[in-house]
Amino acid sequence: MTAEPASPTEGVVPRTFAVLEALTRSPEPMRLSALTLRLGLQKSTVHRILAGLIGLGYVQQNAETGCYSATLKLWELGANVITEHPIKRAASGFLQELQRVTGETVSLVIRAGDDVLYLDKMISPRPIRFTTRIGSRVPAPLTAGGKAILAHAPDAQAVLARTATGMGGKRRLDVAALTAELQQVRERGYAMASYQPGVVGFAAPIMARGPEAAAAISVSAPAERVDETGRQQIIEHLLSTCASMAEQVGRL
């Protein structure tokens, strides 16, 4: 049942979501042929699915180019999920305050499989903009927030192993070094990383209810803007913020 012969048929619903996922992942609207190619489906099948989605209002078709794209109705659907999310709700005030006192970009991430997921972000008023987007995923071991969470995850080793093998030669993961680093993170209470070149990130876990981290808050800044004293101040604010939030979340 669960093991399908080869690729018999997969049902409308999974295919419908595959179409939506393809459309939303693409920065610009997609043509029908691009979708069929990417999904490995029949032209007519994709066309029929798209027609249904247009009827429901989740997809629109550019009248001139004929390209398809997801509509804001799809965004509305998901938006309610996050506004109800307890951690995101609890974090809002803390993020804002931390952004204010540090003057840098702060983010809220949670773990999602072997990745971290950016739940919220408050960007710095200063010139530099980061490219991390709310709703995007990044392999956990690459980011400060991910390390902060993994340091308190029982399956951290497995995550490191999977991530190391998952990424080809490009930026090899040094599992041994990371393992040692996670130990350090546990001791000092915060993690550091430089996922994007020229940007340093500091993060601390939200330790609420139980030994695992519910989330992490990170502060990111251009490397040249952070000297030793700035670093210490950021870390101080970060740790006290996370402690306060953990306390509040813990007694919800």
Partner DNA sequence: CACTATCGTTCCGCCACGTGGAACATTGTT
Partner DNA sequence: AACAATGTTCCACGTGGCGGAACGATAGTG
| 33 binding partner (options a second copy, DNA, none; Cβ < 5 to 8 Å by kind) | DNA
Burial (CB < 10 A; 0-12, 13-18, 19+), residue 89, is middle
Least separation, in Å, of the C-beta of 174 and a second copy? 29
62 binds DNA (CB under 7 A): no
Question: Would you give the distance in Å from CA 174 to the centre of its chain?
Answer: 22
225 binds DNA (CB under 7 A): no
Q: Which of 21, 25, 33, 77 binds DNA (CB under 7 A)?
A: 33
Least distance CB 118 / a second copy (angstroms): 9
Give strand pairing partners of 138. 116
Within 13 Å and on the Cβ side, how many CA atoms surround 9?
Answer: 4
Q: Is 173 exposed, middle or buried (0-12, 13-18, 19+ CB in 10 A)?
A: middle
CB-wise, 41 or 243, nearer to DNA? 41
Residues that bind a second copy (CB under 8 A): 11-14, 16-17, 20-21, 24-25, 27-28, 49, 52-53, 55-56, 58, 70-72, 74-85, 92, 96-97, 100, 110, 112, 117, 119, 123, 125, 133-137
The DSSP line for 23-87 is HHHSSS-B-HHHHHHHHT--HHHHHHHHHHHHHHTSEEE-TTT--EEE-HHHHHHHHHHHHT-HH
Q: Is 100 in the site for DNA (CB under 7 A)?
A: no
Pick from 98, 109, 107: which is nearest to 213 by CA?
Answer: 109
Using CB under 7 A, which of 18, 19, 49, 91 touches DNA? 49
Q: Compare residues 55 and 198 and give the one whose CB is closer to a second copy.
A: 55
Residue whose CB is less far from a second copy, 66 or 125: 125
Q: How far is the CB of 25 from DNA (least distance, A)?
A: 18
144-183 binders of DNA (CB under 7 A) = none
Candidates 136, 151, 126, 125; CA nearest to 205 is 151
Does 27 contact DNA by CB under 7 A? no
d(CA 158, CA 161) in angstroms, rounded, equals 5
Minimum distance from residue 81 beta carbon to DNA (Å): 20
The one of a second copy, DNA, none whose footprint includes residue 10, by CB under 5 to 8 A per kind, is DNA
Choose which of 25, 57, 66, 134 interacts with DNA (CB under 7 A).
Answer: 66
Whole-angstrom distance, CA of residue 217 vs CA of residue 101: 14
The answer to whether residue 89 forms part of the interface with DNA (CB under 7 A) is no
Specify the residue for token string 């979501």.
Answer: 17
**78 binds, options a second copy, DNA, none, Cβ within 5 to 8 A by partner type:** a second copy
Nearest Cα to 218, choosing from 182, 196, 191? 191
**In whole angstroms, how close is the CB of 33 to a second copy at the nearest point?**
21
Distance (Å, whole) CA 87 – CA 110: 9
